[in-house]
Structure formats: structure tokens, C-alpha cells
């Protein structure tokens, strides 16, 4: 068995659910973390049926709440020692301009997408350094670009990618690998959660062409981790887009992104 413990945050749907299924055969124990307890329990039930040997712990937790993050860490620290994979995957977005964003949603996005990632890594590093292990932090292709009407989300993912790269170098040669996973668009619940009521979708032209499947993202991430990659851009299209974004001069990127269709309130009829 490769791991004694695999921790998946955001395990109740989308990529987290895919990771839980893909990793069940590679660990003695798996902790599934998300707010929707019924969802993680039914995923656990399905995974147990196909992998009867794995112990699955369902830990309901709102990662936006400091007290719940602390209690989660306590529970995770109490699990039997062993090589550990921490998958910081929970995250959400909020389509629309910052001026009209709900303050609660702003705080929640920053707590889940950034603070929870750092606190879980920091709180579990003693275990990871003692027993060995890996960290996968789910960033995004958006980490390589600034996005109007998705500015905070893109900035939060730039934070995750940069944090992961720095951490990877800090931990080099100490038995803990760190990977930043940078998917492009994937069909999950992400889009509907990020969508504001009454707002136009304002999708980028050709966005549908970029879509990658959950399975493709999960298998690319696990392959990349095994190879010791610093970042994984699942699919050739997403990888090429990442390269293009990093090679494009900032002045040109600003011009292109200024032409991006806006995600504005449907009734306003255009950019305010
Ligand atoms: N889908 C995409 O196009 C895409 C592209 C690039 C990167 N990503 C990133 O991939 C990761 C997974 O997203 P997904 O696409 O799989 O979307 P998803 O289906 O909406 O899954 C998001 C997961 O995060 C959990 N979560 C959200 N807020 C939480 C909170 N406050 N506390 C605990 N858990 C919370 C959700 O669980 P509960 O609601 O049950 O709490 C859910 O399990 C995210 O970090 C996202 O930013 C997604």
C-alpha cells in the first residue's frame, strides 16, 4: 500500500470525488472532507463496496470556519501514523465583478481557497515530515492569468500555485513532494456554484473546446506526482494554454483580457 492515509478535501463532488475513487486502492485509510455529509457518506459507501479493505472516514467540515478547521486538524492528527497524501482540493469561485460581490462570499472564497490550504499543510507537516508523504494543491489554469469578473478567484489560485512551488523547494530532499494541479475548465458543480443569480454567464469564446474530464485531470495529477512534477496542466490543450499565457507580454494580455465578455447583471445590459 502506497499510503497509510489519504486526505481529500472537497470530496463531495467533482474532482474530489474522482480523486477519492482513484486513490481508494492505494491507501489503508482515507478521510473525505466536505460540508455535505450525505454526499461524502454515499461516496464512501460506493468506494467501500469496490475496495472493502480501505477504512473511510467521513469528516463533515466547513473549511471557511476557523473552529471547524481546527477540529478537522485535531481529528486528522489523531489518525494512525503512516505515509500521507494531503489533497487540498476544496474550492469555489464567484463569477461577477468585485463591486457587486457578497462580502460573505468574498470571505468564504479566501478562507477556503487560501487559508484552509495553508493551515492544513502547516498543521500536517510534522506528520508528513515524520512519515513521508505528498501534497497536491488544486490551483487552476487561472493561476497564470488575471481575469476580470473572476479576479479574486484567479488571484486565489495564483496564491495556491506560488505557495506550492515555494513549499516544494523548501521540502526538497525531505521525503515530501508537492504538486500544484492546474486544470482548465472541467464539467463539475463548480460553474453552478460560482454562478450568481441574475448574471450573464459571459463565457469566453471557445471555452467548451478546453474542457477536460474529471478522470483525465485525476490521472494526469497522479502521473505528475509520481514523476515529481512541480505543476500539472491536465491535457495538451491546457498545457499549451498555460505556456502561451506565460509567454504573452503583459501589455498584450491586458488588451486581450479587456475584450473578454463580461459577467454582468443580466438587466444592466453591458459593462457598467
Ligand atoms: N471545475 C473547473 O472547471 C475547475 C478548473 C480549475 C480548478 N478547479 C478547482 O478544482 C477544485 C475542485 O472543484 P470542482 O471543479 O470539483 O468543483 P465542485 O464540484 O464544486 O467541488 C468543490 C468541492 O469543494 C467543496 N467545498 C466548497 N466550499 C467548501 C467549504 N466551505 N468547506 C468544505 N468544502 C468546501 C465542496 O463540498 P461541499 O459543498 O459539500 O462543502 C465540493 O466537494 C476547486 O479548488 C476548484 O477551484 C476547478
pLDDT, the chain, mean: 94
259 against 181, higher pLDDT: 181
Q: pLDDT tens digits for 14-38? A: 999 999 999 999 999 999 999 999 9
Q: Which residue lies with its CA nearest to atom 7 of ligand 1?
A: 140
**pTM: predicted TM-score of the whole model, two decimal places:** 0.95
Residues 261-269 have a mean pLDDT of 61
Q: Say which residue the cell 489518525 belongs to.
A: 79
Q: Is 235 in the pocket of ligand 1 (CB under 6 A)?
A: no
C-alpha radius of gyration, the chain, whole number:
19
Position 177 pLDDT exceeds 60: yes
Task: Name the closest-CA residue to atom 25, ligand 1.
Answer: 10
> Is any ligand 1 atom within 6 A of the Cβ of residue 16?
yes
Q: Which atom of ligand 1 is nearest to the CA of 90?
A: 24
In this predicted structure, the answer to whether residue 198 has a pLDDT above a threshold of 90 is no
Atom of ligand 1 nearest to the CA of 10: 43
Domain residue ranges of the chain, discontinuous segments joined by + = 3-268
Whether 143 shows a pLDDT value over 80: the answer reads yes
Architecture of domain 3-268: 3-Layer(aba) Sandwich (3.40)
Owner of C-alpha cell 506565460: 246
Residue 34 Cβ inside 6 Å of ligand 1? The answer reads: yes
**Probe residue for ligand 1, chosen from 14, 120, 180, 238 as the CB with the greatest number of ligand atoms within 8 Å:** 14
**Nearest Cα residue to 31 out of 87, 113, 114, 82:** 87
Q: What is the CB-side half-sphere exposure of residue 83 using CA atoms within 13 A?
A: 13
Measured between alpha carbons, how far is 223 from 235 in angstroms, rounded to an integer? 12
Beta bridge partners of 56: 30
Average pLDDT over residues 119-133: 98
Digit-coded pLDDT (tens) for 80-95: 999 999 999 999 999 9
Report d(CA 173, CA 182) in Å as an integer: 24
Measured in Å, residue 118 CA sits from the centre of ligand 1 at 16
Amino acid at each position: 500500500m502506497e499510503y497509510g492515509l489519504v486526505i481529500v478535501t472537497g470530496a463531495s463532488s467533482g474532482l474530489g470525488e474522482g480523486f477519492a475513487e482513484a486513490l481508494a486502492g492505494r491507501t489503508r485509510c482515507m478521510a473525505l472532507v466536505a460540508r455535505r455529509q450525505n454526499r461524502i457518506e454515499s461516496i464512501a459507501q460506493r468506494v467501500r463496496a469496490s475496495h472493502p479493505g480501505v477504512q473511510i472516514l467521513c469528516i463533515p467540515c466547513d473549511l471557511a470556519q476557523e473552529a471547524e478547521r481546527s477540529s478537522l486538524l485535531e481529528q486528522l492528527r489523531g489518525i494512525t501514523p503512516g505515509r500521507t497524501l494531503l489533497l487540498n482540493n476544496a474550492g469555489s469561485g464567484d463569477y461577477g465583478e468585485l463591486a457587486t460581490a457578497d462580502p460573505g462570499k468574498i470571505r468564504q472564497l479566501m478562507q477556503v481557497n487560501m487559508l484552509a490550504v495553508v493551515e492544513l499543510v502547516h498543521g500536517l507537516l510534522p506528520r508528513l515530515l515524520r512519515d513521508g508523504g505528498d501534497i497536491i494543491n488544486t490551483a487552476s489554469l487561472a493561476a497564470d492569468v488575471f481575469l476580470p469578473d473572476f479576479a479574486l478567484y484567479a488571484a486565489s489560485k495564483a496564491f495556491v500555485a506560488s505557495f506550492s512551488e515555494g513549499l516544494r523547494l523548501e521540502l526538497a530532499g525531505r521525503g515530501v513532494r508537492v504538486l500544484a494541479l492546474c486544470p482548465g475548465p472541467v464539467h463539475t458543480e463548480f460553474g453552478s456554484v460560482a454562478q450568481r443569480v441574475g448574471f450573464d454567464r459571459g463565457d469566453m469564446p471557445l471555452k467548451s473546446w478546453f474542457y477536460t474530464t474529471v478522470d483525465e485531470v485525476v490521472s494526469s495529477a497522479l502521473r505528475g506526482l509520481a514523476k515529481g512534477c512541480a505543476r500539472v496542466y491536465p491535457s495538451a490543450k491546457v498545457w499549451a494554454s498555460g505556456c502561451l499565457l506565460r509567454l504573452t507580454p503583459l501589455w498584450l494580455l491586458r488588451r486581450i483580457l479587456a475584450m473578454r465578455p463580461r459577467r454582468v447583471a443580466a438587466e444592466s445590459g453591458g459593462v457598467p
